[in-house]
Structure 1
């Protein structure tokens, strides 16, 4: 992703004034400009933000009051930097939306003596095996699954539950390394892919690969905010998955309807409450994923962070609910802002991908095609970027969003995302 629309431009952060009584949040890492700016725009309207980041700020400057460059994966250094900030400012909470840093952010919260987020709760959600165990013990529908450290263990489990099976890393996100294995003879290659995928800075388990029963049905996710154990669903997103062996588990898009009946469905509301109680998650924000089969709503993952893929932004566009602000409120110890001012609409997002693994030499977005119901077309890469398609990498190179009165209208508008983008590049080797 491009770090900044004007990378050579130097901008000073907002200077706090004597009348600026906004509470201060420490923001751990800022991530990609294209996919995250909407979060800072919302949160900075109510909170002063002090950024702790591995690199100096660029695009973040208009939204922060200060920053510290620090290794955000070193808890001692991160804590020391945060305490320096706390010596000069009263810190209301620690805010983080990045998968890589969410667990250490919870540890930082505890080190600063703040009540939210609880590091044990966050760690339990980050660990798919621990989540599965907690949900199963609570009697919630779950696919059969186990964590394994070897191909032999994976094969024994797959033989027991039957093919197809799913392989996934125990604590990664973004569908990295997720594989569907149809036949026993395909297991070894798939296991090697899943076992070999890493995301820098995320702790490793000896039994790193999850093997689980394949469930057939549509996938959804729900954005939830929790305060004192009470779970409130904000957004339901219906996943659109890719096709072909490499893209089969890639979320190539999402559809959000503010009138989605699942938002108020009694079974869904009860399942959300029970799932968070089972995981022991009482205060914070979650992105929880489900597989809907004919017989049950199966909880697949509980992620202790804002949903990716611009899902909170789609919620803002369709109902006016500001999930980013609600997440910031709860870590600041406040009652979360939960408002749906409307009008209630529908939105679809589709992501752009290069046709093959490549080093990008040119990339353009057809912004001239932006007309209702197409709301926005954004480029998310630049020349020099080395892009590998899943399961070896994160390859989203842009997105197109449509907003309308129905999902039929918005889905049709973004049905061919390739027409909004042009990519050229030098092919890379297939293997990572």
Structure 2
């Protein structure tokens, strides 16, 4: 048994220090963390009190690891911020009898075809979608829906294998890209979805659900580039965003339609001419440091909220700050060898509004843009700023990127 007076929380899959390290650090301020991951803790160091090594995508392996931890500690809850560990974490929570959403609801969120079906059944505005197995079926589905369409693996994340197709001539080649992505997707879904392309600005609604009641906490306005791919290149969060009361009911309807009763949700949608329509429901904290942006803009601590809900405690859902936070993700101009990456800011003289400047690659590294590259090989770094308004945030990011030197030898 744990000797600590603090509750022990199992975190499933907390390896990534760049995009998820803040989650572990913020939760460790209030809970003792017992980690289940594919390898022993490294950077987590003093942040965890115990660990088990297991395949975090395998419900049986995660449950066995969790039961081993439960023999040594009184477990208060289970949480994950990894898309591919949602079902295993739900299975473990159910086995331990701690709060959490059902395995069925996590499967519904992971399988985008199931998501579309449930949204349609509950009258939640979404995109028309047909699951297909091969190019012949994809051709028929695209003709039925009407171009442009989007091809999307049924149970992936991070825009892997997602591509827009504007006409029949493009379909065969772009089908190969989507099918390759689908070959490595999670086990919760199968095949590729052919979907209606939703026109309009993309946003996400960051939500917290307690006892089946969903509260929309913030709106994230997104920047997407590298068409026909859907690489996210920036995000902006503003406390009290005027969109929030308009999109909150739709986000809550989507969460309820999937049967999700607890946790944090990252609900993506597009603002079309016919109104907001759901892209997908991710039953975890959004990626690309969105949780950091929410905390900087509103004071709301999404990882701590997730932990509180997982342990059956009352989370703090009232904003304590009112400003804007934004991130721009830096990509090279072309694929090749990174020669120079430099931001001329003197140590100790950084502007107070520059919250974080992180480099992901070093000179000499090979960088590769889509379609041949992925998030790991394409991104060079990111910048996070705070401001009093979205306009000021954009100006501050532009000031930094104008000073940035980023050169590549193709």
Q: Is the contact between residue 8 and residue 77 of structure 2 (CA under 8 Å) also seen in structure 1?
A: yes
Contact 2:51 2:69 in 1 (8 A): no
Partners of 2:67 and 2:326 lie apart in 1 by 42
Listed as ranges, the matches of 1:280-429 within 5 Å are 280-342=259-321, 344-358=322-336, 366-368=344-346, 370-382=350-362, 387-392=367-372, 393-394=374-375, 395-415=378-398, 417=401, 419-420=403-404, 422=406
1:21 aligned onto 2:21? no
Residues 385 and 29 of structure 1: CA distance in aligned 2, closer, same or farther (over 3 Å): farther
Contact 2:132 2:193 in 1 (8 A): yes
Aligned position for 1:189? 173
Distance 1:362 1:102 in 2: 39
SS at match of 2:243: helix
Matches of 2:86 and 2:189, distance apart in 1? 17
**Bigger Cα displacement from structure 2, 301-310 vs 196-205:** 196-205
Query: Within 5 A, what are the aligned runs for 1:3-402?
Result: 18=3, 20-198=4-182, 202-203=186-187, 205-206=189-190, 208-245=191-228, 248-263=229-244, 265=245, 267-342=246-321, 344-358=322-336, 366-368=344-346, 370-382=350-362, 387-392=367-372, 393-394=374-375, 395-402=378-385
Query: 2: distance between equivalents of 1:128 and 1:70?
Result: 26
Distance in 2 (alpha carbons) for counterparts of 1:155 and 1:419 = 47
Alpha-carbon deviations, 1:305-347, whole Å to 9, x = none?
A: 11001111001111111111111111112222213111x1111
TM-score, with structure 1 as normaliser: 0.87
For residue 177 of structure 1, give the secondary structure of its aligned residue in structure 2. Answer: coil
SS across alignment from 1:101: helix
Equivalent in the alignment of 1:10:
none
Q: Structure 1 residues 68, 199: closer, same or farther in 2, change over 3 A?
A: farther
Structure 2: give runs of 5+ residues left out of the alignment.
none
CA contact (8 A) 2:59 2:87 kept: no
Instruction: Please report how far the alpha carbon of residue 380 of structure 1 lies from its aligned counterpart in structure 2 after TM superposition.
Output: 2.1
**Offset, 1:295:** 1.7
Provide the secondary structure at the position in 2 that maps to 1:224.
strand
- Identify which range, 140-149 or 70-79, moves more after superposition: 70-79
Within 1, Cα distance between the matches of 2:238 and 2:51?
37
Q: How many residues align?
A: 404
Instruction: Note the aligned Cα RMSD (angstroms).
Output: 2.4
Q: Distance in 1 between matches of 2:249 and 2:182?
A: 35
Is the CA contact (8 Å cut-off) linking 1:50 and 1:64 kept in structure 2?
yes
Query: How many angstroms apart in 2 are the aligned matches of 1:45 and 1:105?
Result: 22
Question: In the alignment, is the contact (CA less than 8 A) between 1:364 and 1:423 conserved in 2?
Answer: no
3-state SS, counterpart of residue 21 of structure 2: helix
Question: For 1:26, what is the secondary structure of its paired residue?
Answer: strand
Given the two structures, how large is their TM-score scaled by the length of structure 2? Answer: 0.91
